[in-house]
Chains A and B, each alone.
Chain A
C-alpha cells in the first residue's frame, strides 16, 4: 500500500488553478522530495493531504485513508510542519510539546520522558525550559520538527523545512528526516532548494504551475537530462514548459 496517493487532484481558487490534475504516489519508507518554484502548488498539495485545504476534485490518501472524507483518521498518522507557523511565545518548548502531545492523543503518562528524548535526539535539550519567543529561528525550527515527530507518525509532511536556516541547521534538519525514514516511515518534504533534495531523497518530483513536469530518482533525472545536478534539470524542464 502506498504511503501517499494523490489521484487527479485539482484545486482552484476562483480563476487561479493552483493544481491541475496532479497524480503521484509515494511508497512507504521513502524520502520524497517535492520541488518547484514559488507558486507551483507544493504547499497546496501538502495542505490537502493534511486536510487544511479541500480539493476542487480528485482524491488524496494517506496510508489508504481518504484525507478529506476521513481526515481525523488520516491525521493520526501524519506529522506536519508548515512553511510558516507560530508557537505561543510565552510557553516553553516543554509546555508547548506537552499540549501538542495531548492534542495528538498521547497519554500524559510518559509524555515528559518522550519530550526529553525527542529534545536530545534533535538537539535542543538546553532550550527545553526557555520561552519560545527567546529562541533563535533554528531552535524554533527544531521545536517545530519535534512537534511533528512526537506522536511517531508513519508519514511526515514538511513544507520548506530548511528555508531560512544556516548550513548547520539545514544539515541537522535533513539528517533528522533521513534518520526518521530509515525507521520505516515515509517523509515527504517540499523545497525549492534542490541541493537538499539531492542529499537525502530517494525520489523527486518537480511541480510547475500546478502540474508535475518530472519525476524519478535524482540520478535518473540527471541522466535523462544530461545535467550535473537537479538545479540544471529544473532549469531545462521549466524552460521547456
Chain B
C-alpha cells in the first residue's frame, strides 16, 4: 500500500488522473461528433443506442487509451527505472526476495491505477447517462471492472518488459507496441468476422464481452475474470523468472 500511495501522489498519478478525466469528458463529445458522420456507420452494427455507446466507450476509446497509455505509466519503469537510477542494490539488500519485489511493484501499480480509475469510471457513469438516458448500470460496471483487469494484463506485460529492458523509454514503447498488437483482432472483428477466432486468443475479447445489455450472467462473469487473470500469469512468471536469474 505504501508503494501504491506513493505512486498515486506523484507525477504519474497526476498524469493518469488528468488523462482519465479527459477521456471521460471527451468521450461523450466524440460520440456525438462521429454519430452524425460517415464514421458513425460502424455504430449501426449494434441495434440499440446503448450498445452503440457501450461499444464506443469501452471497445474503441476507453480500452485503447487506458490500456495503451494510462496503465503502463504506473509500471514501465518499475524495474528498469530502479536499475537505471542504481536503486536496486539498496532495495534488494533488504530481507525481501526478488519475486516479492516484482509482485509488489506490479500489485502496487495495479492498486494505484485502481485508486485513480475506479472512482472516475463510476463518476463517468453519471455523465454518460446524460448522453444515453437509462444506461444500464450492470453491463457498464461489469465491463469497467473487466477493463481494470485488462489494465492488469497491460501491467503484467509492462513489468516483464521493464525487467528485460535497461531503458525506460524502450520499456514504455515496447509495452505500447505489444498492447497495440494485442488489441487489433478484437477491434477488427466487427468489420472482419474472420478475426473473431484470433480475438478469442486475446484478453480484449473477454474484457468487452458484456458490453451488450442482457449479456450479463454471474457464472460467465466469474469465468471471464479468471480467464483474464490467466492471460496475465505467463508474463508475470517470465518477469519473475528472468529477474531471479540476473546478476545485478
Contacts and interface: CB of A to CB of B under 8 A. Distances in A.
Contact of B86 (A47, A86, A100, A105): A86
B57 to A, nearest CB: 36
B247 A87 contact: no
B93 A50 contact: yes
B95 interface: yes
Interface in B228-248: 247-248
Could you tell me the dominant secondary structure of chain B's interface residues?
loop
B90 interface: yes
Given A75-B95, A76-B95, A102-B2, A52 B86 contact: no
Contacts, number: 60
Contacts of B192: none
Nearest to A89: B85
Interface in A1-40: 13
B39 interface: no
A174 to B, nearest CB: 21
Contacts of B90: 80, 82, 85, 87, 100, 147
A85 B87 CA distance: 6
Interface string A72-84: 1101101110101
A102 B95 CA distance: 11
Contact of A86 (B87, B93, B96, B247): B87
A52 B97 contact: no
Interface in A140-175: 147
Nearest to B101: A103
A127 interface: no
Contacts of A52: 88-89, 92-93, 247-248
Contact of A85 (B2, B89, B95, B247): B89
A179 interface: no
B93 A99 contact: no
Contact of A103 (B94, B247, B248): B94
Given A52-B247, A53-B248, A99-B2, A82 B91 contact: no
A41 interface: no
A139 interface: no
A71 interface: yes
Given A72-B95, A102-B2, A103-B96, 18 more contacts: A47-B89, A47-B247, A47-B248, A52-B247, A52-B248, A72-B96, A75-B96, A76-B95, A82-B93, A85-B86, A87-B87, A88-B87, A99-B2, A100-B90, A100-B94, A103-B94, A104-B94, A105-B94
Interface of B: 2, 85-97, 247-248
24 contacts: A13-B247, A51-B92, A52-B88, A52-B89, A52-B247, A53-B248, A72-B95, A73-B95, A75-B94, A75-B95, A75-B96, A76-B95, A79-B93, A80-B89, A85-B86, A85-B87, A86-B87, A87-B90, A88-B87, A100-B94, A103-B91, A103-B96, A105-B95, A147-B90
